[in-house]
Each structure stands twice: as structure tokens, then as C-alpha cells.
Copies of this chain bind each other. A is one copy, B any other.
Amino acid sequence: MEGINETIQKQLEHRTIREFKGQKIPEEVFKLLMEVARRTATSTGMQACSIIRVTDRELKKKIAEICNQEYVARAPELLIFIVDQYRNCQIAKEKNYTAETARDMDRFFAAFTDACITAQNVVTAAESMGLGTVYFGSILNDSEKICELLKLPELTFPVVGLGIGYPDQKPQLKPRMEMRLRIFENAYASFENYLEEIKEYDEEMRTYYDLRDPGRPVDSFSNQVVVRFSQVNSKRQEILNVIRRQGFDLMVK
């Protein structure tokens, strides 16, 4: 394909890496990743996200328990990206401005967006250097406990975890649905019969072997969707209550 450069080539080859070599990431490489984090776009320039670098073994294990994924504890680097309106709120207070609006949900979402795009920028930088990465959305299985473990002050909140290290596995490229089902011009367009539209994709998915369960191919995508929706976690469902406990004003009418 025309236009493919090294950056894009790596992006197209993205795979989640869950098993890493014992080798640590050199501190200069880590600093470079943090420099990329620093230079990432940020909503209205406010830089309202922070990162907790988890190095303590016991803490890693506790987080892995919340995630219900033991390999979380084995990631050479474990970063938790967080919403952080606390820092700017403190800055405002020191300027004698009581920033009550720091509690607004739109500030929360701006910081949440900052945290996500920063994480992805770090992922791309890491992969460009031959490192592998794995996102841990599972830290939100118990967001309240994560707040407690990481001593997150008010106006902060965990967004996503990220494991980084030198890959010790070579997963297959995971099939993805066609973009024609995901991009629309000027207005959302739904399809009459989704199962028909994803028929080939459903089949293609059944040629994929997940290294967590290498003995058999994974389920069709549509079956995976049903399984996922049938998994309920009340702590995940009730996430807004934890967000409120962290000091945000939900302003729900």
C-alpha cells in the first residue's frame, strides 16, 4: 500500500503482548517514553492527566488480583494512567481561586481523554522501539480499590493500565471487522442485518488462536459479543458512584 512508512507499518502490526522477557526496560528508554507522554496533545493545554508507575511487587500483585489477570504482576513496567484535576485545582487554590468547576464532569472527561491519548502515544513509541504493550482496562473491575491502593486524592481517577516490556511471544494478528461498518459519512448509518454484514468476519475470527488458550480457535465475533454482554460486574456498572466519591459533581438531574 502506498504511503506506508515505518511508523504506520508498526501501527498496522499492533498486537497485544502479554508475556515479556525478564529484561528490564533501560531507564533512558523509559524517560523517552515519558517525554512522548509529555508532548502528547492535551485538552486546552491543561495537562490534566498523570501516571502512576507501579514498581512495588506487592502492589503489582494486588492490582493483578483486581484485574483477575495474573500476568499483570509480571509486566516489567506497569503504568496506571489517571484523570488528574487535583494538580490544577491546587494551582488555582494557591492563586486564591476556589476552582469548584474542577469538579465538573466535562473536566473529568477532558482529563479522561488526555489520559487515553497519552497512553496510546506511549504505546506507539514503545512499539517503535521493539517493546510490546498490553492495556489493562480490567483495573476498573474495582476502581475504588485502585484509588485506595494508589492513594489517589480527590479529583483524580484511574483510567487504564498499561504493561510494557520486551515481547516473549508472537501472537497472530487478530482479525478486525471491516471499517465500512465503523465509518459513516455525515450521519450514523445502521445496517439491516449485522450478522449478514459480519458473516465473513465471524468466520475469519474462528481462524484466530489466542495464546491464552492456544488449544482451540476463538469463538466467532458475534458469539464473543453475546458472551461479553452477559458478563456483569456491579462494581464496573456503578463506576459513576466512585467517580463522585473522588470529588466529581455528576450533576445528574
The interface of chain A, by Cβ under 8 A from chain B, is 1-8, 10-14, 16, 28-29, 32, 34-41, 43-47, 49-56, 59, 82, 84, 86-92, 94-95, 97, 99, 101-102, 104-106, 109-110, 112-113, 116-117, 119-121, 123-125, 128-129, 133, 135, 137, 140, 150-153, 156, 159-160, 174, 176-179, 181-188, 190-191, 193-195, 198, 221-226, 228-233, 236-241, 244, 249-253
CA gap between A95 and B193 in the complex, in Å: 11
A sample of 24 inter-chain contacts (CB < 8 A) reads: A5-B6, A8-B32, A8-B125, A8-B128, A14-B41, A37-B183, A44-B137, A45-B174, A50-B188, A51-B183, A53-B184, A56-B186, A88-B229, A90-B194, A92-B225, A95-B223, A97-B229, A105-B237, A112-B112, A150-B187, A151-B188, A237-B249, A240-B240, A250-B252
